[in-house]
Amino acid sequence: MVKRELKNSVSEDEAGSDIVNDNGKRLAEPANKDGPKRLKTKSLYRQPTANELNRLQETENLFNSNLFRLQVEEVLQEVSVKEKTVKRFQEWYNNLKTYLLSIPEDTTEYDLTEKSFEKCLKVKLPVSNEVRKTKVVFRFHKFTDVGIVGSYTLGCSINSKLIVDLQITVPAETFTKNDSVNYKYHLKRSAYLAYIASHISKLESIQEIKYTYLNNCTTKPLIYIKPSGKLGNNLLVHVNIVCDDETYKLHRFSPSRNNLRESWLFSTEQEGTEIGPPTPYYNSSILMDLTALENQTFLNETLINKENLKQAIVLLKIWVRQRNLKVSGHVISLLIAYLVQAKRINNIMSSYQIVRNVWIYLKSSEWDANGISLYKGQGTPSVEEFHTHFPIVFLDKTGYYNTCWQMCKGTYYALRRESGLAVDMLDNGKINSFIPLFMTPVTVLMQFDHILRFKNLPKLKESILDKVPKSSKVNYGLDQLALVTDTLYNLLSKGLGDRVDLILQIVEADFSWPVTKTVKNARKDGYVEKLSFGLILNPENAINIVDKGPPANLPEAEEFRAFWGDKSELRRFQDGSITEACVWDASTLAERRSISRQIVDYLLHLKYGHSGKWPGDIEAFRCLKAAFHLQIAERLNKQFSLPAHAHDSHVDVLKNGLVFRLQVAHAKEVTLLRRDVQRGVVKFAESEDSVSLQCETVILPRLRGALHGYVFVTESAYSEFALFFHDRYGGDVIAVLWKPDIQELKDFQILNAKALKQITVDGETKYKVNIEAIIEDFRIIGTGLVKEVTINSK
């Protein structure tokens, strides 16, 4: 051991300016040109400098370990945007901004329901035809500024997969008061975006220009730009459109307000003055644009000159990205701002301390029941009101916009669960927690015990949309994938219960297409939406055979039976309780591990099976009928060896030398034949086909059944007197043949005295059949059914 003396401590004069740098680190020794580098023993055993001591003390107080601090600094340096890229982008951006601001105002008024707008600009509108049902007149009003927003301008962007957000604010006069309803705002916003795309599509500084969706929302397109040259290898640019915050009053889009009419969405006639159910999801898609400027200003003020806060945001974004959690950088930045506002973190803390505090907060948070808000004033909807419409609530600076309006419960629960695991890793001194937290990608196969994939998502989507409540359809509007995802999540969550610790939706719907193509044509070029769910099982409850429900005498029992259907049964348990329960088939331990799969299969078939649901389109209906006819013919041939030939409208079957014609009938077909759509309005009117089909499938079978019942009654009452002949498969005449002994006198043996005539012969009372009375009975029994009763004596 080398003994150090205090007198040899390094003073500022002795250390010299070349020993330490600004970070408190010793500078590298200069290279020895004459030979190998020699280690200076004196510098090795010197006492640390004041800067080094301060750094060691900071590390001890502010970081997990010295190694952790070095790793954090290294990764932050690695993901920071390079100076070269910043300079190149700034030059490129200045040129683009100058060009954009030179676009002149256009006084031409375009009808967006027609194709003249697209022909004039030579680009397509980035929305589907469903949005363009209502006549909307658009005029391009010149904007006054283009700004950089998001992580890049805040100074907390990541070099890998860097996307820079440009924001153009649309003047308020572009929109009218009524544009807030029925996607008129979205249509004008898309037209404004297309107008800009048409002007910049031929710039030499742009290598590629496309449309894409903002957070996979099909009614919120934006422009995707790849710069030309080396800059395009380092970053992409998204051009987004927002409206001036004075365009609409925010209370117009409160969560309990309706801005999407049922009559418009379902193409039906308006019934009275009823507005319809609340549309918080639709409202949020507009509030996102209305509140963008205020929220960006708030973040700029909160994070200005706060380097530690920015570094913490970068670390959290890396952590979220490694776990494939669909949590945007905007939400992370607002969360940091909220915790600063709540005085739970500050810039004096190190980035490690800030991240740790964020994880500790998220671990115990309750955004699903106790949402948070950046707005501290009065006069806005309460957090409780938002909870009645959204699963997760985090309100912005205005108090009207829920920043988590697109977040599914599964995403939030995964975020909360991962935060708890992160805190546990930091508290475990036996491992270097930096590697699993920030450097190791957590793939889907590593993360989940089961993965549920849907092979035929369009078919499943159609089935779900047919069965969800109309209020949910109105709320989600044209964003059908979000509705399907949330519906399936709720079903799986309720069905699996405590068998799983986490259910997370995995949506693959990223889509971009050329500005010269329509959405419909672009989707045909190999675009496929994919939806999966990852399940993390609870080891204690996952293999239970019995799902115990509520006691049979409680109101909840009825709800349990309605949810589980035939699988629910009343059972008595060993503790004496009598409750509803579901019992699953599993005799071995291996089969018990697959009970979760049994539950998922059963619920999907029970809730969204197609066997009992006929299509709502007449052509699809007839195709399904034809499929039934094919199955009937095949089974008659296979099971009974009967020659059968299937047609689109019927099945011909040969039996005992006779040909029988079978036809599948359903009352819904009559309704579909009456349906007539003209200019997007659905009307119902009788047609020749509907009247004919109703007569064949509804009226005649009802008449035949009634006649059959009539014959049964008359035969049982008068079978002693006559024989009855009736074609129960289509005839409308009943023939009565009187028996030969009807004219003979009889003793009193018949209960129906009305049908007898009393005759006295040689002092004896005899009875004779009263045919006139029987015929009168025929008329009475057949009132409203029998048109005429006639006697033919031939």
Range of the domain at 631: 618-689
Q: Is residue 458 domain-shared with residue 504, that is, in the same domain?
A: yes
pLDDT of residue 6: 38
CB 535 within 8 A of CB 448: yes
Total domains in the chain come to 4
Q: Which residues of 102-129 are buried (b: 16+ CB within 10 A; e: fewer)?
A: eeeeeeeebebeeeebbeebebbbbbee
Q: Is residue 679 domain-shared with residue 713, that is, in the same domain?
A: no
Asked if pLDDT for residue 236 goes beyond 70, the answer is yes
Measuring CA to CA, which residue among 787, 232, 212, 226 is closest to residue 517? 212
pLDDT digits (tens, 9 = 90+) for 185-216: 999 999 999 999 999 998 999 999 999 999 98
DSSP 207-239: EEEEEEEETTEEEEEEEEEEESTTHHHHEEEEE
Residue 236 maps to a domain: no
CATH value at residue 457: 3.30.70.3020
Residue 158 maps to a domain: no
pLDDT of residue 413: 97
The SS3 of residue 251 is helix
Residue 626 Cα distances to 326, 629, 647, angstroms: 44, 5, 7
Residue 550 maps to a domain: no
Residue 710 maps to a domain: yes
The SS3 of residue 661 is strand
Residue 217 maps to a domain: no
726: phi then psi, degrees, rounded to nearest 5: -150, 130
Q: Is residue 746 domain-shared with residue 715, that is, in the same domain?
A: yes
- From 632, 664, 689, the end of a domain falls on 689
DSSP 168-191: EEEPGGGS-GGGGSTTHHHHHHHH
Q: Is residue 662 domain-shared with residue 708, that is, in the same domain?
A: no
Q: How far apart are CA 583 and CA 679, in angstroms?
A: 53
Q: Is residue 704 domain-shared with residue 684, that is, in the same domain?
A: no
Q: Is residue 644 domain-shared with residue 731, that is, in the same domain?
A: no
Measuring CA to CA, which residue among 271, 272, 275 is closest to residue 261? 275
Q: Is residue 498 domain-shared with residue 601, that is, in the same domain?
A: yes
**DSSP collapsed to 3 states, 112-146:** CCCCHHHHHHCCCCCCCHHHHHCCCEECCCCCCCE
Q: Is residue 480 domain-shared with residue 599, that is, in the same domain?
A: yes
Q: Which amino acid is residue 69, in one-letter code? A: R
- From 62, 78, 108, the end of a domain falls on 62
Asked if pLDDT for residue 137 goes beyond 70, the answer is yes
pLDDT of residue 452: 95
Q: Is residue 627 domain-shared with residue 524, that is, in the same domain?
A: no
Residue 714 maps to a domain: yes
Residue 89 maps to a domain: no
pLDDT digits (tens, 9 = 90+) for 435-456: 999 999 999 999 999 999 998 8
Q: Is residue 462 domain-shared with residue 540, that is, in the same domain?
A: yes
Q: Is residue 737 domain-shared with residue 685, that is, in the same domain?
A: no
pLDDT digits (tens, 9 = 90+) for 704-721: 677 667 666 666 656 655
Asked if pLDDT for residue 167 goes beyond 50, the answer is yes
Residue 373 maps to a domain: no
Asked if pLDDT for residue 725 goes beyond 70, the answer is no
CB 425 within 8 A of CB 439: no
What are 226's two structure tokens?
A: 């790849």
Q: Which residue has the higher pLDDT, 360 or 684?
A: 360
Q: Is residue 473 domain-shared with residue 598, that is, in the same domain?
A: yes
